[in-house]
A and B are shown apart, each in its own frame.
Chain A
Amino acid sequence: MYTQAMSIGPQDEARHLQSAQDQTRNDAFERRIDEGDFIEAKDWMPEHYRKTLVRQISQHAHSEIVGMLPEGNWITRAPTLKRKAILLAKVQDEGGHGLYLYSAAETLGTSRDQMLDALHTGKAKYSSIFNYPTLTWADIGVIGWLVDGAAIMNQVPLCRCSYGPYARAMIRICREESFHQRQGYESLLTMMQGGTDAQKAMVQDAVNRWWWPSLMMFGPADKDSPNSEQSMRWGIKRLSNDELRQKFVDATVPQADILGVTLPDPLLAWNAEREHYDFGPIDWSEFWRVVGGDGPCNRERLAARVKAWDEGAWVRDAALAHARKQATRAEAA
């Protein structure tokens, strides 16, 4: 999920090229990009490209990992064994997605520990969406439908990203992500079609709470996203924030109709001239507040990650000590 890193937080400035050799290499690099060539880990690349990717991929990975928390919250309380098995599989997928992405970022010369340290110290961001709480079981369905739906919109174009290891990780992730959206929608459909009035109201309430944060997942409006242009040129980004957001709204409105819920936006209406849905203004002050650390669950999420990391330290150390001991013994024998 979650390419907000492109538009928020400190951005690396493109540095002026130092030497004639760099200029030649840079020209060759730009030519490869223009020809739609993939860049691989050991290929020469401008520092700015490398840094932008490390930031983007690592924050994408953090989002997957932190994204396990709001859903993990409901594993023990899933209403049936079937839903529990599905949710477990989904959360395990998110962990896997995080690992694919950390690995892709590591090919650029950063280490896993460096990335985790940046997350744990609050230096690195993750998607704003995970700073909202999962209050009811319906939230789990809505996360699958809207949050994963938004993520898919965002991620499918990244399968053609110019950086090979990232593109390959994205292909794998997208293949798995469609199960996430479908299970969420089906779980909501079950409640809307066979549920009690209270259960239907619960679904509607969850939709009301997640709709706007889902739209914010695409990041600031294009006019407030000055770094997009460079990322588009490099093929790190293929569609603009606003284009993706519009695609998401257009796809979601009919799905809401079939489900039998309304979307909490009085200005939402089909525009025959544009052939798109118009929608109301997004509360960007809320977005920046959540990104800045003051969302409903920012502190809780980060504390949970740090706790898991710290309390798992002895396991990591013991496994390594065991492996070293075994290796020493094998050498001696």
Chain B
Amino acid sequence: MSINQQTGAQEWPLWEVFVRSKAGLDHKHCGSLHAPDAPMALQMARDVYTRRQEGVSIWVVPSSAIVASDPGEKSMYFDPMEDKVYRHPTFYDLPKELDHM
């Protein structure tokens, strides 16, 4: 995603857009766009991603600022959690009388 940040000097930088769809919910990644600076990125994000009131708040982040885990190391990163079933409440058998614990 950040490849073109280095290449085309005349291409506007890329921004990632996050939208909060309504108060109380998380901002969620919804796409990206090119803009020369942060105020323009926000304005364009509004026009591109919230034409039908899809949001009440927008974050824009330069794509180059995002650090991501390596998909090639997905299994090394995430699989170790697979055998840790004791981290889930359903792992524990409790007497029926207890019901809501």
Docked-complex contact B37 and A323, CB < 8 angstroms: yes
B residues 1-60 in Cβ contact with A at 8 Å: 1, 3-4, 7-8, 10-12, 14, 30-34, 36-37, 40, 47-48, 51-52
Min CB distance A87 to B, Å, is: 15
Q: Which of B1, B37, B51 contacts A93 (CB 8 A)?
A: B51
Q: Are A320 and B71 in contact (CB under 8 A)?
A: no
CA distance A106 to B47 in the complex (A): 20
* CB nearest to A169 among chain B residues: B31
A320 and B1 within 8 A (CB):
no
Q: Are B12 and A107 in contact (CB under 8 A)?
A: no
* Cβ-defined contact, A100 with B31, below 8 A: yes
Interface size on B, residues (CB 8 A): 25
Asked if A113 and B11 sit within 8 Å, CB to CB, the answer is yes
Given contacts A40-B71, A42-B71, A103-B31, contact A319 B36 (CB under 8 A): yes
Query: Are A316 and B71 interface neighbours, CB within 8 A?
Result: no
Q: Chain B contacts of A276 at CB under 8 A? A: none
Contact present for B72 and A44 (CB under 8 Å): yes
Question: What's the dominant secondary structure at chain A's contact region?
Answer: helix
Q: Say whether B101 faces chain A, with CB atoms less than 8 Å apart.
A: no
When C-beta atoms are compared, the residue in chain A nearest to B63 turns out to be A106
Question: Is B85 an interface residue when CB atoms closer than 8 A count as contact?
Answer: no
Hey, which chain A residues are within 8 Å of B94, CB to CB?
none
| Other A-B pairs, 19, CB within 8 Å; known A113-B4, A316-B12 | A42-B70, A43-B71, A92-B51, A96-B47, A96-B48, A96-B51, A100-B31, A106-B1, A106-B4, A107-B1, A111-B4, A111-B7, A111-B11, A168-B31, A316-B36, A322-B36, A323-B36, A323-B37, A323-B40
Which residues of chain A come closer than 8 Å to B48, judged between CB atoms?
Answer: 96, 99-100
Spell out A's residues near B (CB within 8 Å): 40-44, 89, 92-93, 96, 99-100, 103, 106-107, 109, 111-113, 168-169, 172, 176, 316-317, 319-320, 322-323, 326-327
Q: Enumerate chain B residues within 8 angstroms of A319, measured Cβ to Cβ.
A: 12, 36-37, 40
B68 at the interface (CB under 8 A from A): yes
Q: Which residue of B lies closest to A318 (CB)?
A: B36
Cα separation A106 to B71 with both chains bound (whole Å) = 18
**What's the nearest-Cβ distance from chain B to residue A147, in Å?**
21
In the complex, are the beta carbons of B71 and A99 less than 8 A apart? Answer: no
Residues of B within 8 A of A322 (CB): 36-37
A92 CA to B14 CA, complexed, in Å? 21
In the assembled complex, which residues on chain A have CB atoms less than 8 Å from the CB atom of B14? 106
Closest to B29 in A: A168
CB < 8 Å neighbour of B10 from A99, A109, A169, A317:
A317
> Can you list 18 A-B pairs, Cβ within 8 angstroms, ordered by A?
A42-B68, A42-B71, A44-B72, A99-B33, A99-B48, A106-B1, A106-B14, A111-B3, A111-B7, A168-B31, A316-B12, A316-B36, A319-B36, A319-B40, A320-B36, A322-B36, A326-B37, A327-B37
